[in-house]
A = this chain, B = another copy of it.
Amino acid sequence: MTRQRVVVVGGDAAGMTAASRVRGTDPEAEVVVLELGRFTSYSACGIPYLIGGVVSGGVEALVARSPDEHRRRGIDVRMATEAMEVDTAAGEVVVLDHHTGRTERLGYDHLLLATGGEPIRPPLPGIDLPFIHGVQSLGDAEALLALAEEGCRRIVVVGGGYIGLEMAEAYIERGCSATIVERLAQPLALLDEDFGGRLADALRGRGIDVRTNTDVQGFEPGLVHTSGGDITADLVVLGIGVRPRAQLAAAAGIELGVAGAVHVDDRQATTTERVWSAGDCAESTHLVTGKQVHIALGTYANKHGRVAGINIAGGDVRSPPVAGTAITKLCSLEIGLTGIRQSQAVAEGLDAIAVTVDTSTTAGYMPDASSMTVRMTAERGTGRLLGAQIIGGEGSAKRVDTVATALAARMTVTEVADLDLAYAPPFSSVWDPVAVAAREAMKEV
């Protein structure tokens, strides 16, 4: 067998996980990783905690494995190196080394596109001004940390997605002011409106200026123009969300799918021979709807990278469908969600019900009991569990894992109500809140 060359474009979660799996599965393969930035295998999810001063040690603290560590494991990691073009007919990538300025054509037996995502930048006047930053890479983190240490004081976050909200809280923790400008009636559009309202209250309680139903109309240096008036800003953070970085794939004629993400099957193969994709640039399949979706989460990048790597090296494993399970902690409020909401279910043509249970994080008589609300969605008739949202105090949100596991098992709400979940007074009421919600849902379906 001739030695295969595997070229990976992108050196973060999906790319490096795949590279490591190729290396681990096929010790003969040559594994080349092209990374435009200066870091590999880092936790972008940790950036708000770095900015907020929760995590110390600079951006290096968020690096799980450096380029040199990967090199010592036999992976040819090339930093500051950009894949300019893919020639799928020839099986070659045009590579620009930013150190030397030189371009070369690099042949591949297999190519993995793990180019990740990029912050959505709405096409507004002034959107490219230098005081506007995304929160995506460790390069972004370095810039933001340097600015924070210089003492920029007035922060405007455009959009109420996870990372934007987490950044707003981080700046408040640093002693800055923070304003969130959200187009919709609530932050975190993944939540039902009333849940979003509770979140907005918590953010405001922490001193964040949350402006909902407000459109951003443009930027000038030091100024954000909105439908509700101008806001002065030393720094603007983009928090609208992430779109797939799929320009390289598109230009090469590789098929794109939903939301402009690279279309892949459950082996992470594209429809182009010997080209694979994984991570924030690629599609997933939704567990509940069965449809292709684009959900940019680090957990999927890792899982799909693993599957891509094993398959590239000759294995045959499949990516599990995704439930969209997500969690965050904002201003002492925990939020978890998985599956689909009632409104999404109805949009999918399902006859769906939703029930809401207000309960507490511990036995009610414990002094540190705090409120917790579980909303569960299920299909009428079949009783099939469709999803849940949880919002509440400490110990609330990770319970969404029980629902995610039940979704993977395609349980009915009756089966969820019967689960043998752990109870002791510091952790739960005797009927676990997830089971209580399922019991309520049984009555409705």
Report A's interface with B, CB cutoff 8 A: 13, 43, 45-46, 49, 54-57, 61-62, 287, 297-299, 302-303, 320, 322-329, 336, 338, 363, 365-367, 395, 397-402, 404-409, 411, 415, 418-428, 430-432, 434
Contacts and interface: CB of A to CB of B under 8 A. Distances in A.
13 contacts: A46-B366, A322-B420, A325-B420, A325-B422, A326-B422, A338-B422, A401-B422, A401-B432, A405-B405, A405-B421, A407-B420, A408-B409, A408-B419
Nearest to A299: B423
B406 A43 contact: no
Contact of A402 (B302, B395, B405): B405
How many copies, total? 2
A174 to B, nearest CB: 16
Given A46-B365, A62-B365, A327 B427 contact: yes
Contacts of A421: 299, 325, 401, 404-405
A64 to B, nearest CB: 8
Contacts of A426: 49, 329
Contact of A320 (B57, B420, B423): B420
Nearest to A326: B422
B299 A430 contact: yes
Nearest to A57: B365
A423 B297 contact: yes
Contacts of A406: 405, 409
B367 A327 contact: no
Contact of A43 (B324, B336, B408, B430): B430
A363 B425 contact: no
Contacts of A409: 405-406, 408-409, 411
Contacts of A432: 401
Given A54-B366, A411-B409, A418-B303, A45 B398 contact: no
Contact of A420 (B299, B366, B397, B434): B299
Contacts of A13: 430
B365 A431 contact: no
Contact of A367 (B54, B298, B299, B404): B54
A338 B54 contact: no
Given A325-B422, A422-B326, A430-B302, A365 B43 contact: yes
A326 B428 CA distance: 12
Of all A-B residue pairs in the complex, the 7 with the closest CB atoms, nearest first, are A409-B409, A320-B418, A327-B422, A405-B405, A323-B420, A325-B420, A401-B402
